[in-house]
Amino acid sequence: MLKFPYCNVTDLNQALAQCRFVGLVGPLASRRQSPRAVVSCSPSSSEFSLTPVQAVMSCQQQVGSSLVNRLRLGGLTEDGLSYKEKFIIRGFEVGINKIATIETIANLLQEVGSNHAQSVGFSTDGFGTTPTMRKLHLIWVTARMHIEVYKYPAWRDVIEIETWSQNEGRIGTRRDWILNEVATGEVIGRATSKWVMMNQDTRRMQKVSDDVKEEYLVFCPREPRLAFSEKNNKSLKRIAKLEDPVRYSKLGLKPRRADLDMNQHVNNVTYIGWVLESIPKEIIDTHELQAITLFYRRECQQYDVVDSLTGLELTEGSKTVSVGTNGSATATATTREDDHDCHRFLHLLRLSSDGREISRGRTEWRKKPTR
């Protein structure tokens, strides 16, 4: 998913050759020794000393003639450690109320993440892989996604999304986003995600090696930068697994061909749509989604059949419980915050054939505002 778009190449190795990078050192060493890279984007230009991040940005600025990059309203920030892009909300991205859907928001997050990866020179194969990852047949897969929307943009609104990534744990990376309304500068949403490394052939998780870290950490913030503080990060909260019987369900959901992504499995955003399929109509009609968290357990293929299960999330003191068909976990269970305008649900996506878990999630819904 990454390339040097302005150098008009599709592979990082080609980019290094064409842009004539000399002595490009990985980020782990760079933080200790402050190495420099010499870059010349054309044989005739003079060479000068740059950090790896500056080298990428300089190459972009000097050779930026690609049509897609001239039309795209986005690019790396001044320090090269995050990426911003503006979008106009179009007619096919809104619902009957002319407001962007949560699927639209999630798709835009994926688009910005992909464009960020391309802008720093990673592969365009759909996996956002570094040269070492491609050599070892390693890919990134989503393990967790959390989105909060404070205000949904409407048809023809212009929003700007900023994204950046950083290391998280032994087998993962983290990508965060902040959404702003351009007209007012107001923050209208935030999101965070965790990605883990998988062997493309064996489909097993694999530890992120130092070699891989050295290839991508140079483009990450030097200090932790989080869209949500760890103290109040709802995405880290444990989600209980729903068990039958549940109050709400939608059975027999089948992926469409259009639900497959370039990696040949069901796109992450489709999971969000499946979760919404089992939300009760009375909630859909009167409330809007303010937060969603999904933990991905296994891949879903084109011919899998999926069940979507939903149950109310109630609390019993400080203990969270899910409610089954009869609606009463205990006689004293109450909704969190005792707010009748805010509803919370737990979700489970499973294979219809054998009940294996695909994903579990949590959603929060607020009363629709008067527009």
Residue with the bigger pLDDT between 166 and 67: it is 166
Residue 105: per-residue pLDDT = 98
Q: Could you give phi then psi for residue 367, rounded to 5 degrees?
A: -60, 135
What does the pLDDT average to over 176-194? 97
334 band by pLDDT with thresholds 50, 70 and 90: very low
Catalytic residue among 146, 300, 343, 347: 300
Between the CA of residue 200 and those of 118, 165, 216, what are the distances in Å?
20, 22, 19
Catalytic residue among 8, 167, 233, 263: 263
In this model, does residue 37 exceed pLDDT 50?
no
In this model, does residue 16 exceed pLDDT 90?
no
6 band by pLDDT with thresholds 50, 70 and 90: very low
- Do you find a cis peptide bond into 245, omega within 30 degrees of 0? yes
pTM of the entire structure? 0.78
Active site residue 263: yes
Catalytic residue among 167, 233, 265, 342: 265
Q: DSSP letter for 206, please.
A: -
In this model, does residue 35 exceed pLDDT 60?
no
Residue 34: per-residue pLDDT = 35
Residue 68: per-residue pLDDT = 74
Q: Which of 54, 117, 61, 53 is nearest to 85 (CA)?
A: 117
C-alpha atoms less than 13 angstroms from C-alpha of 326 in its C-beta half-sphere: 5
Q: Which of 216, 122, 100 is nearest to 167 (CA)?
A: 216
- What is the C-alpha separation between 117 and 227, in angstroms, rounded? 19
Active site residue 265: yes
Structure confidence by residue, pLDDT tens digits, 92-103: 999 999 999 999
In this model, does residue 140 exceed pLDDT 70?
yes
Backbone region of residue 338 per phi and psi (left: phi > 0; alpha: psi in -120 to 50; beta: other values) = left
What does the pLDDT average to over 163-174? 87
Most confident of 2-6, 75-79, 205-209: 75-79
Question: Average pLDDT, whole number, for the chain?
Answer: 79
In this model, does residue 125 exceed pLDDT 80?
no
Residues facing residue 367 across a β-bridge: 287
Do residues 148 and 109 lie in contact, with contact meaning Cβ atoms separated by under 8 Å? no
Instruction: Residue 113: count other Cβ atoms within 10 Å of its Cβ.
Output: 23
Least reliable range by pLDDT among 25-34, 126-135, 164-173, 344-353: 25-34
- What is the C-alpha separation between 203 and 133, in angstroms, rounded? 14
What does the pLDDT average to over 247-273? 91
- What is the C-alpha separation between 297 and 233, in angstroms, rounded? 20
Active site residue 300: yes
Q: Which of 127, 191, 152, 143 is nearest to 294 (CA)?
A: 143
CA 136 to chain centre: 24
Host H or E run for residue 23:
none
Residue 168: per-residue pLDDT = 85
What does the pLDDT average to over 73-82? 91
The radius of gyration of the chain from alpha carbons, rounded to an integer in Å, stands at 22
Q: For Cα atoms 6, 9, 11, give the angle at the middle one, nearest 5 degrees.
A: 125
In this model, does residue 304 exceed pLDDT 80?
yes
Do residues 15 and 34 lie in contact, with contact meaning Cβ atoms separated by under 8 Å? no
In this model, does residue 170 exceed pLDDT 90?
no
Do residues 279 and 310 lie in contact, with contact meaning Cβ atoms separated by under 8 Å? yes
Residue 127: per-residue pLDDT = 66
Q: Which of 345, 348, 234 is nearest to 287 (CA)?
A: 345
In this model, does residue 180 exceed pLDDT 90?
yes
In the chain, what are the domains? Answer: 61-236 (3.10.129.10), 237-314+341-370 (3.10.129.10)
Do residues 248 and 348 lie in contact, with contact meaning Cβ atoms separated by under 8 Å? no
- What is the C-alpha separation between 357 and 332, in angstroms, rounded? 30
C-alpha atoms less than 13 angstroms from C-alpha of 94 in its C-beta half-sphere: 14
